[in-house]
Structure 1
Amino acid sequence: MSEDLFGLSESPLSLRDRGSKAGKTAKSKEPKHYHGHRDRLRQRFDEAGAEALQSYELLEMLLFSCIKQGDTKPLAKALIERFGSFAKVLAAPRERLMEVQGCGEKTARFIKELQAAAVLFAKDQVDPQTPLSSWSAVMNYIHAAMAHSQTEEFRILFLDKKNQLIADEIQQRGTVDHAPVYPREVIKRALEHGASALILVHNHPSGDPTPSRADIEMTARINDALKPLNIVLHDHIIIAQHGHASFRGLNLL
């Protein structure tokens, strides 16, 4: 009678299968390298603040909110490597964010929500009653809103006769190097708001805030159109990733 009948011996295949299953079970019980990492990262933030974290670490900690399990460090590093900085990640178009492996639609939406929160925070630092006296806050706001955009945007700040902020509008969005601006549209919106003064703002995605010849000519046309209406053009600011240019400061107004 064969020993196999009583289960006293097993085939090589069944032994191999059993050993494989045992190995998988033991491996599954091993702690992942990132176990406890979230708590350690949060503890560093609580004890020392954001200054104690590198940019990718702050981003990976923020990603905890939309990625409930797993290691977010590889994605945070990949995003910053792709776009260049924390701010550029937030400003990146949703479609380009989703090109990064691991960044799905939900995560891309969350990143755009972070950008919206950052811009709103900067905007709320501007005192609408005295925007010109809180000029650094104005610059922080428009830098947060526009500096890292990959296309040109033309924004107008409308002020009343006391230089209080009436409205803040994006007038035009364009391509990587051009946003069409029509003086008649600027005049129309100024009259509709009852504005007494304007500040023009646009960005240069190239990173160089130096006014182009087209920028100078366009600003001159708008200024000439405003003068008969007794509307003052306080300034035209060009925002770039690493600085800005003021037409008033450059004696171009």
Structure 2
Amino acid sequence: MPKPEHKDAGHRPRLRERFLDGGADALPDYELLELYLFQCIPQKDTKPLAKRLINTFGSFAEVMTAPVERLVEVKGVGAVTAANIKVLHAAALRLNRENVLSRPILSSWTALLDYVRGAMQYETNEQFRVLFLDKKNRLVADEVLGKGTVDRAPVYPREIIKRALELGSTAVILCHNHPSGDPTPSQSDIDMTNVVMAAAKPIGISVHDHIIVGRNNTVSFKSLGLM
């Protein structure tokens, strides 16, 4: 006798069809993650795992940005699945970075904000990164120059200037995240920015902006009139 059809038979093709017809917006976070997990775990129902991951971390984006050591703590996530999730995150960052590289940054500001948000939005510790630009305001390098705790990342203005000179960069954009979620600049943020600007100006290096990345939005020092 033929085996009875499993109650979930056809679920994967239907989910793929919904995605192809309506794109990612047609699926809630757990279904989009479930769809991706099909590729990682081909012979198992991935819906419970997708829901478990979303419940643990909060959203699709937060699953992608979670560190490997946290991912493997979730029941059902092995080293291979965790690595595949991190590959997807890296691919998204690479795509965003290519969008920034292809055009002068000051004329593609939205792409720049998408890139720094993707890189820093869900970091649990504060990090300070610098975007180094050439004479045409194209990205030369993107480097993290400071990593710290939940509310502080040490950064030394002389290291920023030294690295800009090494790269032949004529302008920089400062970026750091606030893991608390609130991107409001602190007085120490303002003071540090002023020190960098004072050190950069005599040697012809422009500081175009300082961007603070919060959980849901970003703040630009220039737009706030702070520089």
Alignment TM class, shorter chain as reference? over 0.9
The answer to whether the aligner puts 1:220 opposite 2:166 as a matched pair is no
Q: How do 1:159-198 and structure 2 match up within 5 A?
A: 159-198=133-172
Structure 2 Cα separation of the partners of residues 252 and 230 of structure 1: 20
Q: Distance in 2 between matches of 1:78 and 1:230?
A: 52
What's the offset of the Cα at 1:147? 0.8
Matched residue, 1:114: 88
- SS at the partner of 1:70? coil
CA contact under 8 A between 2:173 and 2:207: conserved in structure 1? Answer: yes
Give per-residue Cα distances to partners, 1:104-153, cap 9 Å, x unaligned. Answer: 11111111111101111111212444111011111111111111111111
Question: 2 CA distance for matches of 1:174 and 1:250?
Answer: 25
Cα distance in 2 for partners of 1:54, 1:85 equals: 10
* Aligned positions, number: 226
For 2:79 and 2:4, the matched residues in 1 are separated by 31
Q: Find the counterpart in structure 2 of residue 230 from structure 1.
A: 204
User: Partner residue of 2:18?
Assistant: 44
1:57 match: 31
Whether the 8 Å contact between 2:100 and 2:139 is mirrored in structure 1 is no
Residues 216-247 of structure 1, C-alpha deviation per residue, up to 9 Å, x if partnerless? Answer: 11111111111111111110000112101111
CA deviation vs aligned residue, 1:23-67 (integer Å, no higher than 9, x gap): xxx9xx554433321122112222332222111101001001110
Look up the match of 1:99: 73
Aligned 8 A contact 1:159 1:195 in 2: yes
1:23 corresponds to = none
Question: Where does 1:134-149 land on structure 2 (aligned, <5 Å)?
Answer: 134-149=108-123
**Alpha carbons of 1:156 and 1:106: their partners in 2 closer, same or farther (altered >3 Å)?**
same
What is the aligned counterpart of 2:100 among 107, 126, 137?
126
Secondary structure of the residue aligned to 1:126 is helix
Counterpart AA for 1:199: I
Q: CA separation in 2, counterparts of 1:133 and 1:47?
A: 33
Measured in 1, the distance between the counterparts of 2:22 and 2:225 equals 45
Moved more, 107-116 or 165-174: 165-174
Tell whether the 8 Å contact from 1:127 to 1:134 is kept in structure 2 after alignment.
no
Give yes or no for the alignment of 1:81 onto 2:66: no
Based on CA coordinates, which of the two structures has the bigger radius of gyration? 1
Structure 2: distance between partners of 1:127 and 1:110 = 25
CA–CA distance in 2 between the matches of 1:103 and 1:221?
46
Of the structure 1 ranges 34-43 and 225-234, higher mean CA displacement relative to structure 2 is found in: 34-43
Residue ranges of structure 2 left out of the alignment (5+ in a row): none
Residue identity (%): 56
d(CA) in 2 for partners of 1:70, 1:37: 12
Q: Matches of 1:81 and 1:30 in 2, distance apart?
A: 33
Query: Which has the larger displacement, 43-52 or 100-109?
Result: 43-52
Cα RMSD, aligned residues only: 1.5
Q: Provide the C-alpha distance between the structure 2 equivalents of 1:95 and 1:34, rounded to a whole number of angstroms.
A: 32
Letter in 1 for 2:123: S
Residue 99 of structure 1 aligns to a residue whose secondary structure is coil
SS in 2 for 1:78: helix
What TM-score, normalized by structure 1, do the two folds share? 0.85
- Amino acid paired to 1:217: D
